[in-house]
Chains A and B, each alone.
Chain A
Amino acid sequence: MNTRDRHGSSAPADSVTASPVLDIRGLRLRLPRTARPVLDGVDLTVAAGETVALVGESGSGKTLTSRSVLRLLPPGATAEGVVEVAGEDVLAMNAVRLRALRTGTAAMIFQDPRAAINPLRRIGDFLTESLRLNTGTPAEEAERRAGEMLVAVGLTPAALRRHPGQLSGGMLQRVMIAAALMGEPALLLADEATTALDVTTQAEVVALLGDLRDRFGTGLLFVTHDLGLAATISDRVYVMYAGRIVETGPADVLFARPRHPYTAALLAATPRLDAPRGRLNAIDGQPPDLRAELRGCPFAPRCVHATALCTEEAPEDRVFTDGPGGPAHRVACHHSDRVRQGADHG
Chain B
Amino acid sequence: MAETVLHVSGLHRRYGSVRAVDDVSFSLARGGSLGIVGESGSGKTTTARIVVGLESPDEGHIRIRGDERTGRVRGRAARLARAREIQMVFQDPFLSLDPRVSVEAVLRETLRLHFPGIDHARRIAELLDQVGLGSRTRDALPRQLSGGQRQRVAIARALAVEPAILVLDEAVAALDVSVQAQILNLLADIRAETGVGYLFITHDLGVVRCVTDDVIVMRQGRIVEAGATERVLAAPQHPYTRLLLESVPRPGWDPHAIAAARRALHHAPAGPDRTNGQSTVLN
Contact A273 B188 (CB under 8 A): no
Number of interface residues of B (CB under 8 A): 41
Contact A277 B255 (CB under 8 A): no
- In the complex, which residues 253-278 of chain A have their Cβ closer than 8 Å to any Cβ of chain B? 265-266, 269-274, 277
0 or 1 for each of A193-207: is its CB under 8 Å from B? (1 = yes): 000001111111011
Contact B203 A204 (CB under 8 A): no
Select the stretch in A44-52, A89-97, A139-147, A281-289 that faces chain B: A281-289
Q: B230 an interface residue at 8 Å Cβ cutoff?
A: yes
Contact B255 A207 (CB under 8 A): yes
Contact B181 A283 (CB under 8 A): yes
Contact A200 B244 (CB under 8 A): yes
- In the complex, which residues 163-186 of chain B have their Cβ closer than 8 Å to any Cβ of chain A? 176-182, 184-185
In the bound complex, CA of A281 to CA of B178 (Å) = 9
Contact A280 B209 (CB under 8 A): no
Q: B252 an interface residue at 8 Å Cβ cutoff?
A: yes
Q: B92 an interface residue at 8 Å Cβ cutoff?
A: no
In the bound complex, CA of A206 to CA of B250 (Å) = 13
Contact A232 B181 (CB under 8 A): no
Set of chain B residues within 8 Å of A281, measured between Cβ atoms: 181
Smallest CB gap from B184: residue in A: A280
Are A277 and B262 also in contact (CB < 8 A) when A2-B253, A198-B203, A266-B177 are?
no
Contact A203 B258 (CB under 8 A): yes
Set of chain A residues within 8 Å of B40, measured between Cβ atoms: 169, 198
Q: A63 an interface residue at 8 Å Cβ cutoff?
A: no
Q: B243 an interface residue at 8 Å Cβ cutoff?
A: yes
Select the stretch in A106-114, A181-189, A220-228 that faces chain B: A220-228
Q: Which of B177, B205, B262 has the most CB of A within 10 A?
A: B177
In the bound complex, CA of A57 to CA of B230 (Å) = 29
Interchain nearest-CB distance for A200 vs B (Å): 5
* Closest 6 A/B residue pairs (Cβ): A207-B255, A271-B206, A282-B181, A203-B258, A198-B39, A283-B178
Residues of B within 8 A of A (CB): 39-40, 146-148, 176-182, 184-185, 188, 203-207, 209-210, 230, 233, 243-245, 247-259, 262
